[in-house]
């Protein structure tokens, strides 16, 4: 997996991002911003609302987006449109998160990134050293400052699972993916992460946000544009997929896509079975779960959604184990906060 290091001010990090990944950033913009049949007036409305709202909440994100645009030789509005792509036009990525309290490594958090097959091989390991906030490492694609699932220097990790929700907050909300990035940059533990989720308005993209920390806490924040609830780990296991389960947020769960809903519910049912198979959880068990195939629904998905990468986070050790492609077919690269990397066999 390619490695990119960013450091300094928001603009400096953005310029480094755009310069190092110019070709990939341009390809992402072409595919996501211009490759979809989106009404231009709708895109312009969302982008302008997003720009105004982000300036109120995380103005540094706009500086970073300007840096990405300058580094990649693009117009900033193209980066803004890409950063709000889930608000402009809702896709249906899958993604599963599960946390186990293990006997050997404390809480271990696994996240799959289930998207289109054409995204396999496009992800990057990022080492982020901002001038303000916590350094963190993560895996994500190029083109936006949101970054992806990872862990920061304090041991806080996050991973998201998208939700098809019905509520919106165009007037004050920001892209949910940006909120997730700043969880790692500005929060030190699960409770601080919950507080930031509660205080940050989001536009439209519903999300289950799993957070773990080095104190062996794990939660799922069910977040929509207008609602929020928190589920905490019980019996040393916690998981989420692409639907809400709490009474507080279920009223805005969009169930119109029956196949998508059935896939999500199938994965959570499978996780209930897999996590109950062993009384004492281990890192090896988490790895097996990541590679599980079953009928009719698998955790390592090969269609119609594809597990483009899988990421195991060990909060206590500030360590990522990343599968670049299907977890069942690839070795795990090990990344730590000191950016050392080795390979672990199957």
pLDDT in tens, 31-61: 888 767 677 888 899 999 999 999 999 999 9
Please report which confidence band the pLDDT of residue 343 belongs to, taking 50, 70 and 90 as the band edges.
very low
Per-residue model confidence (pLDDT) at position 22: 97
pLDDT for the residue numbered 42: 85
Is the predicted pLDDT of residue 216 greater than 70, yes or no? Answer: yes
Query: Is the confidence at residue 307, as pLDDT, over 50?
Result: yes
Cα 132 → chain centroid:
21
What CATH number was assigned to the domain covering residues 2-88? 1.10.10
Report, as an integer, the average pLDDT of 146-154. 95
pLDDT value at position 338? 75
Treating both helix axes as pointing N-terminal to C-terminal, what angle do 59-72 and 40-57 enclose, rounded to 10 degrees? Answer: 120
**Between 281 and 92, the higher pLDDT residue:** 281
Q: Report the pLDDT value the prediction gives residue 94, as an integer from 0 to 100.
A: 83
pLDDT of 39 reads: 79
Phi, psi of 216 (to 5 degrees): 70, 30
How crowded is residue 239: how many other Cβ atoms within 10 Å of its Cβ?
A: 26
Kindly tell me if the per-residue pLDDT of 339 is higher than 60.
Answer: no
The stretch 124-139 carries a mean pLDDT of: 97
Mean pLDDT (the chain) is 93
For residue 101, which of 93, 109, 92 has the smallest C-alpha distance?
109
* Bridge partners of residue 160, in order along the sequence: 209
Q: Are 149 and 311 in contact (CB under 8 A)?
A: yes
- pLDDT value at position 342? 42
pLDDT at 177 over 80: yes
**Fold topology of 97-344:** Penicillin V Acylase; Chain A (3.60.60)
pLDDT value at residue 234: 86
In the chain, what percentage of residues exceed pLDDT 70?
A: 96
Say what the pLDDT of residue 112 is: 96
What pLDDT sits at residue 264?
96
The arithmetic mean of pLDDT across residues 85-107, rounded, is 88
Whether the per-residue pLDDT at 151 is higher than 80: the answer is yes
**pLDDT for 294 beyond 70:** yes
Domain spans of the chain?
A: 2-88, 97-344
Q: How far apart are CA 224 and CA 200, in angstroms?
A: 11
- Mean of the pLDDT values across residues 152-172? 95
Residue 158, pLDDT > 90, answer yes
pLDDT-derived band at 231, boundaries 50, 70, 90: very high
The pLDDT of 232-237, averaged and rounded, is 93
SS (H, E, C) the chain: CEEEEEEECHHHHHHHHHHHCHHHHHHHHHHHCCCCCCCHHHHHHHHHHHHHHHHHHCHHHHHHHHHHHHHHCCCHHHHHHHHCHHHHCCCCCCCCEEEEEECCCEEEEEEEEEECHHHCCCCEEEEEEECCCCCEEEEECCCCCCCCCEEECCCCEEEEEEECECCCCCCCCECHHHHHHHHHHHCCCHHHHHHHHHHCCECCCEEEEEEECCCCCEEEEEECCCCEEEEECECCEEEECCCCCCCCCHHHECCCCHHHHHHHHHHHHHHHHHHCCCCCECHHHHHHHHCCCCCCCCCCCECCCEEEEEEEEEHHHCEEEEEECCCCCCCEEEEECCCCEEEECC
Higher pLDDT, 338 or 283: 283
């Amino acid at each position: 997996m390619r490695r990119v290091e960013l450091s300094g001010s928001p603009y400096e990090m953005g310029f480094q991002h755009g310069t190092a990944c110019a070709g990939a950033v341009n390809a992402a913009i072409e595919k996501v911003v211009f490759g979809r049949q989106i009404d231009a007036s709708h895109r312009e409305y969302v982008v302008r609302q997003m720009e105004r709202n982000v300036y109120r909440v995380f103005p540094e994100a706009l500086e970073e987006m300007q840096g990405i645009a300058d580094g990649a030789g693009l117009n900033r509005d193209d980066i803004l449109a890409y950063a709000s792509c889930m608000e402009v036009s809702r896709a249906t990525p899958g993604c599963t998160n599960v946390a186990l309290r293990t006997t050997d490594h404390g809480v271990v958090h696994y996240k799959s990134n289930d998207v289109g097959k054409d995204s396999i091989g496009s992800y990057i390991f990022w080492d982020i050293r901002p001038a303000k906030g916590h350094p963190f490492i993560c895996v994500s694609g190029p083109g936006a400052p949101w970054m992806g699932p990872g862990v920061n220097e304090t041991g806080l990790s996050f991973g998201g699972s998208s939700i098809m929700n019905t509520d919106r907050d165009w007037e004050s909300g920001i892209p949910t993916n940006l909120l997730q990035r700043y969880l790692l940059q500005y929060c030190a533990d699960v409770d601080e992460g919950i507080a930031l989720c509660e205080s940050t308005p989001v536009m439209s993209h519903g999300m289950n946000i799993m957070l773990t920390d080095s104190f062996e806490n794990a939660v799922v924040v069910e977040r929509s544009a207008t609602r929020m609830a928190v589920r905490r780990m019980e019996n040393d296991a916690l998981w989420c997929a692409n639907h809400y389960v709490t009474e507080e947020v279920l009223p805005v769960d969009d169930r119109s896509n029956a196949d998508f809903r059935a896939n999500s519910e199938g994965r959570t049912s499978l996780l209930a079975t897999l996590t109950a198979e062993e009384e004492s959880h281990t890192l090896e068990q988490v790895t097996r779960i990541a590679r599980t195939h079953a009928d009719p629904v698998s955790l390592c998905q090969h269609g119609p959604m594809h597990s483009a990468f899988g990421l195991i986070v060990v909060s206590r050790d500030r360590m990522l184990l990343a599968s670049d492609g299907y977890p069942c077919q690839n070795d795990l690269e090990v990344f730590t906060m000191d950016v050392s990397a080795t390979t672990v066999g199957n």
